[in-house]
Structure 1
Amino acid sequence: MISGGSSSPVSIIAFFLTDEDFYQVRACCTFKGPQSEETEYTVSYFFNKNLMMEYNSTRGNWTGFTAYTIEAAKWWNSDHLDPLKKRIERKLLCEDTLDLIQSIDNLTTIPTVRLKSVKRPNGEHASTLVCSAYNFYPKQIRMMWMRNGQEVTTDVSYSDVMPNGDWYYQTHSYLEYFPTSAEKIACMVEHLGLSEPMFVVWDPSLPVEQRTRIAVGLCGLVIGFVIAISGIIYYNKKSAAYITVFLLT
């Protein structure tokens, strides 16, 4: 099950060095209790999603994870002004905004889940089912594929949980499968905003709009066929009456 977290990112800064390389700084407040003194403040440096160096207010020092950042961490840990800077940052970003951050962190928006099938362009019988979750908050979410009530663990892939840029997130899951009429496939979604898991069952039948268009088309075809048959019968009867009158005269 998805459980509530106590961490809230309060600042993310990214610098794009090239089209492929980027550098990111992330500050985070972790609430360990109701008092502001129990808040842990961390600053993390990333390069191309790889954690390079991190400051932790509980430990009170920097930790490097590469040869270069290990030496940089030693230099920053020897700087007597750096602890003061971090205490000021912790107060401004975490302690002074504790109520606001916790109220935002408690907000939830349940995902909108859609399920569709994508045919392979090479004509193979296998298809891809796509389960998409849109416009949810917070980002913690779990998606699973179920076949006849059992979890599917093969031929399944997932995208990253991607921000929309408006506090909401989206993510997608993919299932490669061969369609059969005997099995029941569903996408299960768990999220903090849901009191119980959401199940979206795959229905291979045509959507209502398509069924309606086909029904209207068939009705038109039947009506046209009836009119044509009636015209033929009427023509045959009229021709027979004309021949009878002609013979009598």
Structure 2
Amino acid sequence: MVLCIPVSPWVAALMVLLSRGIQGGAPPDNHLLRALHECYAEDNRTQRYVMRCILDREEFMRFDSTVGEFRALTAMGRPWAESWNSQKEYMERRRAEVDTVCRHNYELNQGFTVKRRVQPKVHVSPSKKVALQHHGLLVCHATDFYPGNIQVRWFRNGQEETAGVVSTNLIRNGDWTFQILVMLEMTPQGGDVYTCHVEHPSLQSPITVEWKVRSDSARNKMLTGVCGLVLGLIFLAVGTTMHLRCKKAQLRAPGSP
């Protein structure tokens, strides 16, 4: 956040720095004098404004709206704080920043920040091929959601799993959305149903995504059915092609009806 800073205090500060070099008879050193302005808000009622005064890389003085005056953080900051605190009009403007800047910007931007809601997309998959009664890892991936507060839980056959749950930190996508990975260590048994349960402020009801364990026999039956379907389609295609060829041959034969 960039704010307009009264000229006189900063001009005075620069004059002090320049005078050091002039008094020494040598060109002054290069210094960087900065003022950082920060707003903290839990809601529109609870606002806090902070101004940090930094010379080069050292913060030497700070104004906090909860305190209402400048406080020196180093020996160099003491005369500055005393001087600025004695300027009544300047201090009144500084104390008003919590309303004129922080609260104003909060109300201006809350539609995009505070009130913005984007529903998560949830996908569940094993980290590798899973075999019955063998250790495995299920991954619940929630992505493209906003705001960042989200709760992801794992259930096995309707019972919440707390042991063996590992989560990444919240990952920023760089477009005002987040993602998170929550893993569950498991040893699947035949018929087990694992559920990823996601709660988020954008949702009226939780998102639940199931992952079911399939036995080898069930998998084999499914593969057999798929193979049978594919073979049936092949035979159908071959039969149709042969039928059409025979029909064309009959049409070309002499004396054919």
TM-score under structure 1 normalisation?
A: 0.55
Distance 1:87 1:60, change over 3 A: closer
Q: Residue 43 of structure 2 corresponds to which residue in structure 1?
A: 31
Match 2:229 to one of 219, 225, 231: 219
Q: How many residues align?
A: 179
What SS class does the counterpart of residue 99 from structure 1 fall into? helix
Deviates more, 1:146-155 or 1:129-138: 146-155
Match 2:164 to one of 155, 160, 168: 155
Q: Residue 100 of structure 1 corresponds to which residue in structure 2?
A: 108
What SS class does the counterpart of residue 122 from structure 2 fall into? strand
Match 2:201 to one of 170, 192, 205: 192
Distance 1:171 1:74, change over 3 A: farther
Q: Residue 126 of structure 1 corresponds to which residue in structure 2?
A: 135
1:166 to 2:179 alignment: no
> Which has the larger Rg?
2
Amino acid at match of 2:116: L
Q: Separation in 2 of the partners of 1:57 and 1:178?
A: 56
Residues 62-101 of structure 1: pairs in structure 2 closer than 5 A: 79-80=81-82, 81=84, 87=95, 90-91=98-99, 93-101=101-109
Deviates more, 1:193-202 or 1:163-172: 193-202
Shift of 1:200: 1.3
Amino acid at match of 1:151: E
Q: Residues 120 and 126 of structure 1 are in contact (CA less than 8 Å); yes or no, is this contact kept in structure 2?
A: no
Match 1:140 to one of 125, 133, 149: 149
Q: Separation in 1 of the partners of 2:75 and 2:166?
A: 38
Identity in percent: 27
Amino acid at match of 1:152: E
Q: Residue 41 of structure 1 corresponds to which residue in structure 2?
A: 49
Amino acid at match of 2:66: T
Shift of 1:165: 0.7
Q: Residues 61 and 77 of structure 1 are in contact (CA less than 8 Å); yes or no, is this contact kept in structure 2?
A: no
What SS class does the counterpart of residue 79 from structure 1 fall into? helix
Q: Which has the higher strand share?
A: 1
Q: Residues 145 and 188 of structure 1 are in contact (CA less than 8 Å); yes or no, is this contact kept in structure 2?
A: yes
Gaps of 5+ in 1: 1-9, 12-24, 45-53, 64-69, 227-249
Q: Separation in 2 of the partners of 1:132 and 1:74?
A: 52
Amino acid at match of 1:189: V
Amino acid at match of 1:219: L
Distance 1:212 1:154, change over 3 A: closer
1:162-211 per-position Cα deviation (integer Å, ceiling 9, x unaligned): 111111111110101011124321111111011222211113459xxxx9
What SS class does the counterpart of residue 192 from structure 1 fall into? coil
Amino acid at match of 2:108: L
Amino acid at match of 2:146: Y
Gaps of 5+ in 2: 3-36, 53-61, 216-220, 237-257
Displaced runs of 4+ in structure 1, greater than 6 A?
Answer: 211-214, 223-226
Q: Separation in 2 of the partners of 1:180 and 1:125?
A: 9
Q: Separation in 2 of the partners of 1:130 and 1:58?
A: 45
Q: Separation in 1 of the partners of 2:51 and 2:143?
A: 29
